[in-house]
Structure 1
Amino acid sequence: MPEQNSESEALLRAEELLPPNILDTSTGVEGIVANEIATENELTNRVEPEVSSTYGAASQASENEENVGTSSSPSVSLRRKKVKKRKSEQFDASGYAVPPPQLYFILGSIFMGAFLAALDSTVVTTLLTVISSDLDALPKFSWIATSYLLAMAAFQPLFGKLSDIFGRKCLLILCNLLFSCGCLICALPKHFGGTFTTLIVGRFLTGLSSGGLTTLGTIAMSDLISLRKRGIFQGIANIFFALGASTGGLVGGFISDAYGWRWVFLGQVPLAFIGAVVVYLFMNLPSGSLGLGAQDTDTKSKLKRIDVLGSVTLITALVCAMLAADLGGQKLLYKTWSFAALVTGFVAFSLVFAYVELYSATEPIVPVRLLANRTVLASSLANWFGTMAGFTCLYYIPIYFTTVLEFSSTENGLRFVPSVFLASLSSVGAGFYMKLTGKYLWFAIVTSFLSIVGVIHVALITPTIPVWDQYSLLILPYCGYSAMLTVTLLALIAAVPPEQQASSTSIQYAFRSTGSTLGMSLASAFFQSVLIRNLPTRLQDAAPPDVSPKVLKKVIKNALSNGEYVRVAPEWAINPIKSTYESSCKAAFLFALVTVTLGFISICFVKEHKLHTNIARK
């Protein structure tokens, strides 16, 4: 009897949770479908407050509900089973889509991918001459770096939409495996067909997959972590990326000296392969996650959804832009037909791409209409201009130190250590700020303004700069830049619906990658114009009467082509060389000041949106 009473009371409690059948106005009878929807909504609303406290509470609550109604009617039991299924598909209200132990394995693979992508972009900087000489292709050495950066920039915007179709897990595994294959191809010895062309193919593959590792890693973290906590983990990812970029040259030089340059690439093969295995084993997103891609469709149907025309025109336009930026003014003079053809190709294919995405494509590979969103456009432009300024300072401060202050490479590197370290902390600090406050706009404005102050300080550099200032010169610009990357990414994701976060993230990465290449090209144009215009005149004015025209011509040629020539130049030429390089670097710094200011203006147009504490953004 007590058991029956208990069972009856439980059944009554269960029945109280169920609303009465709803009249379906289209049929005049009690609607089964409408009633089940109302039932699910009612149960969800009543149970949800108890679920949001801890991971796993949803499934426990559903189990309790099912146990209560085991002796109820079949319709009640069926409805409760549906509620259980619905609750099991709910994202974790504590801010994570998977349990923390599983999350940490996935994040480890993502951080490893970011590290390898950045490492491989700079690991060859100290090896260009060694590799090209070993393969008898010294005049073509620049393609070792260009092929990588070209593939990375051209294909990076595609991964967002492709991951919406095929899923993040599939593409992350593919990119890790392609990265391993690319590095293996680069390391092929000559007796296995390893020629310079083979190396370029390998570098192209690693560049393509690196673009996927960085973009997909960022997108996947948005599937796994709520926006409120997202910034902290993005900051950590930025640390790994910065660590890879800053140590690439050092690691490459050390391994090459100890074991040979091929081991620089071979050493990365197992790391990327392990990353693929970890993703395969642990990246099991909950049912209903956008990161799973298109469900219940076969591969053929998924392939038909790819915007082929948009992809081809976008890649072609970006390739033309990257080649024009990389070759223009040096290997291709600005007045040549070749350079004009690249610029024309960029403009033409960009217009075709925009037309296809706006009016033709059923599912645009890059939804251009997203740029009509104020925050998407503003945050992307902030990345574009900010990256131009950041890379200009990164490359031309060492040139200033080398030519004007006559520092060695080691002395240059040591002076970057405080900036890299504090910039990493700045990125994570931005994440903590957003987690604690749920805000980001004024933080972004203040840190961007500090970047302007820092670049002004860089532009005012003099040869008498004190030692302490040499070590702190890049702290403000880099801390501001690092914080900006984290904040604008979160602002962009928060400004669009969850189903558009992958495409919008790809757009921002495209702005960032093209900004680095285009910024370096424009900064180089300003630097070279001042150098070429002033150096010959200053050396001619400073040359003693007994210096022959032949010797003067040789000094001018060496000074224009080699920044370290100042260390071995004739005494009469040292001051003119230093002063000209100083003014040339300052022309690049002024360009950086203009672009960082434009980035600050772009930040001011970003709109504040709510940073949700759960994955479902509710």
Structure 2
Amino acid sequence: MTTSSTSVSPASPPAKMTHREVLQALSGLLTGMFVSILAGTVVSSSLPIIIADLGGSQASFTWVVTATLLATTVSTPIWGKLADILNRKLLIQIALVIFVSASAAAGFSQDPGTLITFRVFQGLGAGGLTSLSQIIMADILSPRERGKYMGLFGAVMGVGTVGGPLVGGFLTDGIDWRWNFFVGVPFAIVALILLQKTLHLPRRPHTRVSIDYLGTVLLAAGVSLLLIWVSLAGTEFDWWSTETVLMVGGSLVIIAAFMIVEFKAKNPIIPLTLFKNRTFTLAVVGSISVGVAMFGTSVFLSQYMQLARGASATESGLMTIPMIGGMLVSSTIIGAVITRTGIWKRYMVTGSIMLTVGMFLMSTIRYDTNFALVSAYMVLLGAGVGMVMQNMVLVVQNAVDPAELGVASSGVAFFRSLGGTVGISALGAVLGSQATDLLAERKDDLMAAIAKLGEKGAAVAEQLSGGQLPAMKELPESVRVIIESVYGQAVADIFLVAAPLALVTIIAVAFLPNLSLSDKTNHERLAETPADQAGVEVAQLAEASVAAEPRTSPIGVVHDRRDDGLDR
């Protein structure tokens, strides 16, 4: 997208908002986010029933999930760029309308193709809600203040993530699965009213907008082709095949063309100059692995609960509460601490270590592992995600030019969603391959168990050979134990595959520049005159100079602050 703007100074910054005014302003954002999470998770426990009722296949099941993630990933940076040049309040209302309208329309689907199409539009709206909520927070709150309010977003995320599958199971069992797609409409109406009544953003300079259509199309095409390949490889065709060469090669060519276009664009969708900013580059690297942890593990934890521990869809939602609880508590507490002290890096490093350790510990679980131990591992993993995920956006918003805050924030969200989408597809392929190999190893035991069932054994054998996920509740005990042990180990193996990627997060966070958090909102930073900005730069240079001088500890040991990356 390119713009040609007239030189208009931002309006004078408004007076600081009180805590009550901030909560009122955030009420619409929080409600909108709750709608997004609820509508996204409510179908997770009901999806097998929905696909079966619509006459879909296993491929349809995969595409219903992947289509939404793909659309969210592709649209996120576009929404972020729009946020830098258009009315942000109007944009988030448009995103909410798109999201909930597509969700409601999906409830009338008569076939898998229609459902997948509406899920794409649902993802487009979700991309806007994901990026715009973070951007608008920066208009209302300074980076220093933002930490404690991030806990509210964590709470809403936790309630929506846990409550969605429970509500979905109740609606599917008690009424009809189509109500899964209608349940978010009342909340969306409330969110729109609250946004209109309570969200008052500072006026921004008027700009004359010109859309960079070529860059938009190239970004969507390049990323979509790559994600489609990841979704299909290993199932529809081999990883090493002609299709792989064509799809990956085509994606790389399109992405290269996109980069060339962005270099020439006056105001590109993803300014490549952002990667000159060390904080942004390292945050992008770290966000990819956080995306795998947040999206990938949540999907496969549900499968572990249902296929390895025999839980129902509703029970599996309850059994993942320890991870959501760990994420909620850590994001709330650490956010408040960061606001009070201004210290952030040590907590992000600690969180990335907890995330990595949690991944490795989850790779040791089996179908009969004591659930208290599994819960402890999930708490550790969730706490690590909570300490890193939201604060990654915070430090980027604090480090970039305020005029590029929208595109920088959405850039981090884009790569996090990209990591999650690729992670779900790739780890899903690993899970399928491992389950097949492990079943082959247990073939003799399985055949012996089926043979002992007599006439009932034929029906069990037919179910297991159909290529569909087994209905664990319907399997005889002797067969179910074997299947549970296979899937217990297979799910653990994907955590082992993902764990080394979490190590990358530790490295990326450790090398993040330890910048002080600003106490000014984004609008106030934009309103600064060049002279003010020059004064800030001089002050920062002076601070850096003082920080570089050796200091003596109370016990007389010389301590070089340049080597202490966790001081702040």
TM-score w.r.t. the length of structure 1 is: 0.75
Name the CA shift for 1:182/1:545 in 2 (closer, same or farther; >3 Å).
closer
2:20 aligned with 1:114: no
Contact 1:155-1:211 at 8 Å conserved across structures: yes
Report the residue type matching 1:283 in the other structure.
L
Name the CA shift for 1:576/1:165 in 2 (closer, same or farther; >3 Å).
same
Contact 2:89-2:199 at 8 Å conserved across structures: yes
Name the CA shift for 1:440/1:576 in 2 (closer, same or farther; >3 Å).
same
Cα distance in 2, alignment partners of residues 234 and 166 from structure 1: 25
Cα distance in 2, alignment partners of residues 200 and 559 from structure 1: 24
Cα distance in 1, alignment partners of residues 10 and 450 from structure 2: 90
- Give secondary structure in 2 for the equivalent of 1:89: coil
Displacement, 1:397?
Answer: 3.7
Percent pairwise identity: 26
Report the residue type matching 1:581 in the other structure.
Y
Alignment map for 1:174-253 (pairs within 5 Å) = 174-188=94-108, 197-253=113-169
Contact 1:566-1:577 at 8 Å conserved across structures: no
Displacement, 1:395?
Answer: 3.2
Q: Which residue of 2 aligns with 1:442?
A: 346
CA RMSD of aligned residues (A): 3.1
Q: Which residue of 2 aligns with 1:356?
A: 261
Alignment map for 1:70-219 (pairs within 5 Å) = 89-92=12-15, 94=16, 96=17, 100-135=19-54, 137=56, 140-188=60-108, 197-219=113-135
Report the residue type matching 1:104 in the other structure.
L
Displacement, 1:485?
Answer: 0.9
- The match for 1:596 among 502, 509, 528 is 502
Displacement, 1:582?
Answer: 3.7
172-181 or 219-228, larger mean C-alpha shift: 172-181
- Give secondary structure in 1 for the equivalent of 2:442: helix
Displacement, 1:131?
Answer: 3.7
CA deviations over 1:124-181 (Å, ceiling 9, x no partner) = 2233344445555567454433332221111111111111111211211211222232
Displacement, 1:200?
Answer: 3.6
Contact 2:326-2:380 at 8 Å conserved across structures: no
Cα distance in 2, alignment partners of residues 266 and 547 from structure 1: 47
Name the CA shift for 1:455/1:559 in 2 (closer, same or farther; >3 Å).
farther
Cα distance in 1, alignment partners of residues 450 and 32 from structure 2: 60
- Give secondary structure in 1 for the equivalent of 2:327: helix
Cα distance in 1, alignment partners of residues 134 and 198 from structure 2: 17
- The match for 1:261 among 177, 183, 188 is 177
Name the CA shift for 1:258/1:524 in 2 (closer, same or farther; >3 Å).
closer
Cα distance in 2, alignment partners of residues 574 and 131 from structure 1: 24
Report the residue type matching 2:166 in the other structure.
L
Displacement, 1:439?
Answer: 1.7
Displacement, 1:570?
Answer: 7.6
Displacement, 1:505?
Answer: 0.5
Report the residue type matching 2:72 in the other structure.
M
2:387 aligned with 1:468: no
Q: Which residue of 2 aligns with 1:414?
A: 318
Report the residue type matching 2:493 in the other structure.
A
Q: How many residues align?
A: 511
Alignment map for 1:299-314 (pairs within 5 Å) = 301-302=208-209, 304=210, 306-314=211-219
Q: Bigger relative contact order, structure 1 or 2, given CA contacts below 8 A and separation 6+?
A: 2
Contact 2:262-2:270 at 8 Å conserved across structures: yes
Cα distance in 2, alignment partners of residues 351 and 613 from structure 1: 39
Name the CA shift for 1:127/1:566 in 2 (closer, same or farther; >3 Å).
closer
CA deviations over 1:12-31 (Å, ceiling 9, x no partner) = xxxxxxxxxxxxxxxxxxxx
Q: Which residue of 2 aligns with 1:47?
A: none
- The match for 1:325 among 219, 224, 230 is 230
- Give secondary structure in 1 for the equivalent of 2:516: coil
Displacement, 1:318?
Answer: 1.8
Cα distance in 1, alignment partners of residues 291 and 305 from structure 2: 21
Contact 2:235-2:429 at 8 Å conserved across structures: no
Alignment map for 1:59-78 (pairs within 5 Å) = none
Name the CA shift for 1:279/1:467 in 2 (closer, same or farther; >3 Å).
closer
Contact 2:310-2:484 at 8 Å conserved across structures: no
Name the CA shift for 1:579/1:540 in 2 (closer, same or farther; >3 Å).
same
Cα distance in 1, alignment partners of residues 202 and 302 from structure 2: 48
Displacement, 1:441?
Answer: 1.0
Cα distance in 2, alignment partners of residues 330 and 442 from structure 1: 42
Report the residue type matching 2:297 in the other structure.
C
Contact 1:235-1:486 at 8 Å conserved across structures: no
Displacement, 1:237?
Answer: 1.2
Q: Which residue of 2 aligns with 1:540?
A: 444
2:196 aligned with 1:280: yes
Cα distance in 2, alignment partners of residues 545 and 515 from structure 1: 41
206-215 or 126-135, larger mean C-alpha shift: 126-135
Gaps of 5+ in 1: 1-85
Report the residue type matching 1:90 in the other structure.
P
Name the CA shift for 1:244/1:341 in 2 (closer, same or farther; >3 Å).
farther
- Give secondary structure in 2 for the equivalent of 1:614: coil
Gaps of 5+ in 2: 1-8, 526-535, 537-568
Cα distance in 1, alignment partners of residues 52 and 474 from structure 2: 26
Name the CA shift for 1:339/1:235 in 2 (closer, same or farther; >3 Å).
farther
Cα distance in 2, alignment partners of residues 542 and 136 from structure 1: 30
CA deviations over 1:402-437 (Å, ceiling 9, x no partner) = 444444444433332233123212111121121111
2:482 aligned with 1:568: no
Name the CA shift for 1:553/1:352 in 2 (closer, same or farther; >3 Å).
farther
Displacement, 1:107?
Answer: 0.8
TM-score w.r.t. the length of structure 2 is: 0.81
Contact 2:326-2:381 at 8 Å conserved across structures: no
Report the residue type matching 1:389 in the other structure.
A
CA deviations over 1:347-402 (Å, ceiling 9, x no partner) = 122111112112x2111011122122211111121121122134343333444444
Displacement, 1:336?
Answer: 4.7
Cα distance in 2, alignment partners of residues 385 and 567 from structure 1: 37
Q: Which residue of 1 aligns with 2:251?
A: 346
Name the CA shift for 1:564/1:430 in 2 (closer, same or farther; >3 Å).
same
- Give secondary structure in 2 for the equivalent of 1:256: helix
Contact 1:152-1:210 at 8 Å conserved across structures: yes
Cα distance in 1, alignment partners of residues 179 and 481 from structure 2: 43
Cα distance in 2, alignment partners of residues 258 and 476 from structure 1: 35
Name the CA shift for 1:340/1:557 in 2 (closer, same or farther; >3 Å).
farther
Report the residue type matching 2:372 in the other structure.
W
Name the CA shift for 1:207/1:542 in 2 (closer, same or farther; >3 Å).
closer
Contact 1:115-1:240 at 8 Å conserved across structures: yes
Q: Which residue of 1 aligns with 2:6?
A: none
Contact 1:454-1:476 at 8 Å conserved across structures: yes
Report the residue type matching 1:326 in the other structure.
S
Name the CA shift for 1:112/1:342 in 2 (closer, same or farther; >3 Å).
farther
Contact 1:539-1:556 at 8 Å conserved across structures: no
Name the CA shift for 1:209/1:481 in 2 (closer, same or farther; >3 Å).
same
Cα distance in 1, alignment partners of residues 370 and 45 from structure 2: 29
Displacement, 1:445?
Answer: 0.8
449-458 or 364-373, larger mean C-alpha shift: 449-458
Larger radius of gyration between Structure 1 and Structure 2: 1
Name the CA shift for 1:102/1:351 in 2 (closer, same or farther; >3 Å).
same
2:279 aligned with 1:375: yes
CA deviations over 1:90-129 (Å, ceiling 9, x no partner) = 343x4x4xx5555333311111121122222222223334
Cα distance in 2, alignment partners of residues 341 and 464 from structure 1: 44
Cα distance in 2, alignment partners of residues 204 and 540 from structure 1: 44
Cα distance in 2, alignment partners of residues 104 and 412 from structure 1: 33
